[in-house]
Amino acid sequence: MSLFLVVALPFLGALLPGLMNSAGRQACAGVTFTVSLAAFIGLLTNAPAVLNGEVVMAGFNWLPAIGLNMTLMLDPLGFFFACLILGIGLLIIAYARFYLSRDDNMGEFFTYLLLFQGAMVGIVLSDNILLLLIFWELTSLSSFLLIGYWKHLPEGRQGARMALTVTGMGGLAMIAGMLILGQIAGSYDLSVILQNRELIQSSPLYVPALILILLGCFTKSAQFPFHFWLPHAMAAPTPVSAYLHSATMVKAGIFLMARMWPVLSGTPEWFVIVTTAGLITMVLGAVIALFKHDLKALLAFSTVSHLGLITMLLGTGTAFGAMAAVFHILNHASFKAALFMSAGIIDHETHTRDIRRLGGLRHLMPITFVIATLASLSMAGIPLLNGFLSKEMMLEEAYHTTLFGTPWLVPALAVLGSLFSAAYCFRLIGHTFLGPKRDDYPAKPHDPGAGMWLPPALLMIPVVVIGIAPFVAEPFVKLVTSAVLGDAAEVPKAYFKIWHGLVPALYMSIAAVVGGLIVLALFNPLLRGWDAAPRPEAKAIFDRLITGTVAVARGLIAPLHDGSFSRYAAIMAATIIAAGLHAWTTGTIGPADYGMAPLNTIAVAGWLMLVAATLGLVFLHHNRLLALILIGIVGLMVSIAFVHFSAPDLALTQFTVEVVTIILLLLALNFLPNRTPSESSVLRRVRDGAIAIAGGLATMALSWHYLLRDPVAAPISEFHLANSYKGGGGTNVVNVILVDFRGFDTFGEIIVLGIAALLIYALTEALLWGPARAKLLNRKPDQPRAGDIHPLMMVVLTRVAMPVVLMIGFYIFLRGHNEPGGGFIAGLIVSIAVVMQYMASGFGWTSARLRYPYHGIIGTGVLIAGLTGVGSWFFGKPFLTSDFTYVRIPPFEKFELATAALFDLGVFLAVVGAVMLSLESFSRLARRAHSEDSEHAMDIDPSREPEASAKEV
């Protein structure tokens, strides 16, 4: 199966759970499981090639100008993590089906889960670091939704915000680091970057890039000092916790450190930063975990500790340390997912996770007891379980590691972390399952059905099998290790076995286990000392930091951003003028290359009228209707200027925009006072006038300078003129620029146009059904209205003109690629034709004949434009690359067919939909304002749409 399909399946499948929600819990979980299973099977179809040492590649150029390629790479490391994500994901989906209550929206939960799963798969399969960054941020967003899934819980909302804040800030740092790394290597493709170890490490930008990338990794994988967010994410449902802690979210940072190991490791900076952070996190997380009474909190801090263990192993920079890290990632995923699901079972059946209220559960929940005990002993590093093997390798590596010139520091801290790790594992078993049965459980404990205990039970198979026969996992672990090491080192020849003889790691392991039992025996006095000891609270520090940051930001922003548009405009304009003045006075301006062109009487007259209209607007702005007329005159004169300078496309666009804009503004003014209710102070008007005059003079000086001198570089217009027909198949350069050369800009513009229309619609909806509704219904015009609001002459004229205008619009659309015209202008012309129907015949008459909603027209236009751009991908071309050819269909002459016409059709529909939706919104306000039922305005049921008024505007 294609790698693209493996990544896309979870995203596409995220549409299904919501649709299946009404079909029942089983259908909703079933479709989610099927989607994940399909992606997993698709991944496994590539297993033979990967296990043979091949690297499966897939991709195409997406935005080559910025180095963003849609390239995927499946090597043993990516395959390993993708198997964890999708394989454990299947177990989590099955477990969640029975864990979630009937009150939980299962469709919403599984939608978030699939989005998160797809983002994680995208991270581990990305070959382009910019693409990886996109998926990286998607994991932060989707995990925010998962952690805050129980929105009714304040701790859930707080945990989600904390996770998003910490990982989001780390992600921003990592973006900067990755951009630096790509600049050093000369490519943003990982397959290229990983081959440039010497170039990267010899660069003076290596250390900044390393620190920024590690910030992203440490925040995502909860390394000290960013470890505090992970335990607070425990407010999420247990299936989320099990998934995030075992195979996904927190492993993303570990994965990236492993992926970048060949080019970033092996330097003193890497060794000191990564090893130190890992050791501190390992010990600190284990100590805190021991004294947590909440089962999930204990397991959360144990995850922090074990992530620190893996980070420390990667930080050593040795091949053996990397192999031990890979092995422990595998082992940790199996026993940690099982432990979280076991904690969820206990919570589900006893209605508590407080260890102090548990005990004796081995008699009442024997199946859960066996699963949790095996997983806990594996996490403690007890022989014949898989955790023992990777822990021994960690201790062996720690024994040979010297940090800060002290050979005993790393071994001592590794033993200390292992000691407390064993202690909290023994506490989990002893205080939860051992001891006598109690008679004060919040609910009667019992083992659940197979739907809940079978997923964690399946995870015990690798825990036991690998623990007894480690040679089973050895080939695969070494294959993955080879992908981690790349060309930087060779895979160690060490064998995976239970007994290595009387080596230092064995004594260190025995000391950790025995010490853990001793600590558990002394738990009560140690707990009293822990509770009495003063210690910083990470969440309180984080909250104070956020509060302080917000206060500082408000102190800086409030004086500037007070909601006054005139202040914003004044600050921006003054800043631009000052910067321009500095450049002008410090630069070198040579003599003019050209003289003044002869003055044209008509041009001078037009300029004088433009100036007169502008000055009139300044002095008469208090009268809004007159100001609007003057704005229309200014727009008309600009259109004439475009004609004078041989720019018919711009003239047509400007003219049609002016017509539509004036009509919409007239409708809007219908609900506003005729005159400006209050004027600015004299001082402010003097300030604004001075800034406006300075800006005008600066613009004039800049235009004067460029128009009288040869350009320093060849203008881009020469490229467009030379390539318009050859590259875009059209002789109308302006239209080819819009739909081909700069089609991406146009695509964004029609999306913004559609969003603006939808916002206008939403605002009018709020007016119609909000507090302003009664004012609209009771509003009375300040001047008498004409008796005939729909003159017969205008009605007849507009209905006769409608097909003619539509034909003209169709003609303008078709000729746009080679003559003045195009989708944008045609859309405005057709919009004017429909606007005329609203003006002449009224809202009711026109809307009754509306066959397609304007929302749908906007969406259809954007969709057609987007699909036109996507179509170029199938031919290996960047997004929105157009093509054209010539065809002959008898009896017609040969004519041109261009894919840009489809894109232009999307533009046409988006423009028509946006203009008409805006008009319809204002028209509905006008209609409601002149309803006959105005005397009952305060008594109308807002849930019922009133009958249409006989009087319409």
Total-model pTM: 0.72
Considering the domain architecture, whether residues 567 and 491 belong to the same structural domain is answered as no
Please tell me whether residue 399 adopts helix, strand or coil conformation.
Answer: helix
Q: Whole-number mean pLDDT of the chain? A: 85
pLDDT at 926: 59
Q: Is the pLDDT of residue 735 over 90?
A: no
By mean pLDDT, which of 24-33, 310-319, 716-725 is the weakest?
716-725
Domain range spanning residue 810?
Answer: 731-953
Domains contained in the chain, number: 3
Considering the domain architecture, whether residues 379 and 521 belong to the same structural domain is answered as yes
- Is the model more confident about 263 or about 566? 263
Considering the domain architecture, whether residues 664 and 742 belong to the same structural domain is answered as no
Q: To which H or E segment does residue 802 belong?
A: helix 792-815
CA distance readout (Å), 619 to 623, 624, 627, 630, 684: 10, 12, 9, 11, 15
Q: Is the pLDDT of residue 801 over 60?
A: yes
Task: Work out the end-to-end distance of the chain between its first and last CA atoms, rounded to an integer number of angstroms.
Answer: 59
Closest Cα to residue 427, out of 331, 303, 310, 517?
A: 517
Q: Give the model's confidence band at 229: pLDDT under 50 very low, under 70 low, under 90 confident, else very high.
A: confident
Considering the domain architecture, whether residues 754 and 661 belong to the same structural domain is answered as no
pLDDT at 503: 86
Q: Is the pLDDT of residue 938 over 50?
A: no
In a domain, 457, yes or no: yes
- Is the model more confident about 517 or about 727? 517
Distance (Å, rounded) from C-alpha 779 to C-alpha 927?
Answer: 12
Considering the domain architecture, whether residues 673 and 752 belong to the same structural domain is answered as no
In a domain, 90, yes or no: no
In a domain, 89, yes or no: no
pLDDT at 497: 84
Considering the domain architecture, whether residues 507 and 569 belong to the same structural domain is answered as no
Distance (Å, rounded) from C-alpha 633 to C-alpha 717?
Answer: 30
Last residue of a domain, one of 705, 722, 741: 705
In a domain, 70, yes or no: no
Please tell me whether residue 128 adopts helix, strand or coil conformation.
Answer: strand
Last residue of a domain, one of 667, 688, 705: 705
Average pLDDT over residues 172-199: 91
In a domain, 603, yes or no: yes
Distance (Å, rounded) from C-alpha 393 to C-alpha 511?
Answer: 15
- Is the model more confident about 507 or about 921? 507
For residue 246, how far is the Cα from the chain centroid? Answer: 23
Q: Can you read off the two tokens belonging to residue 491?
A: 């895979």
pLDDT at 180: 94
Work out whether the CA dihedral 123, 9, 743, 748 comes out positive or negative: negative
Considering the domain architecture, whether residues 297 and 428 belong to the same structural domain is answered as yes
Considering the domain architecture, whether residues 658 and 738 belong to the same structural domain is answered as no
Percent of the chain with pLDDT over 70: 94
Considering the domain architecture, whether residues 822 and 909 belong to the same structural domain is answered as yes
Q: Can you read off the two tokens belonging to residue 621?
A: 């702005």
Q: Is the pLDDT of residue 374 over 90?
A: yes
Considering the domain architecture, whether residues 468 and 374 belong to the same structural domain is answered as yes
Considering the domain architecture, whether residues 318 and 463 belong to the same structural domain is answered as yes
Q: Tell me if 157 sits within 8 A of 151, measured CB to CB.
A: yes
Average pLDDT over residues 565-576: 86
The pairing of strands 884-887 and 895-898 is antiparallel
Considering the domain architecture, whether residues 688 and 739 belong to the same structural domain is answered as no
In a domain, 325, yes or no: yes
Which residues are paired to 675 by β-bridges? Answer: 623
Last residue of a domain, one of 688, 705, 722: 705
pLDDT at 876: 75
Q: Is the pLDDT of residue 932 over 80?
A: no
User: How long a stretch of residues is the chain?
Assistant: 953
Name residues whose C-beta falls within 8 Å of residue 371's C-beta, 6 or more positions apart in sequence: 338, 342, 453, 456, 457, 460
Encode pLDDT of 586-617 as tens digits: 877 778 777 777 888 888 888 888 889 888 88
In a domain, 14, yes or no: no
Encode pLDDT of 74-97 as tens digits: 999 999 999 999 999 999 999 999
Q: Is the pLDDT of residue 784 over 60?
A: no
pLDDT at 936: 30
In a domain, 878, yes or no: yes
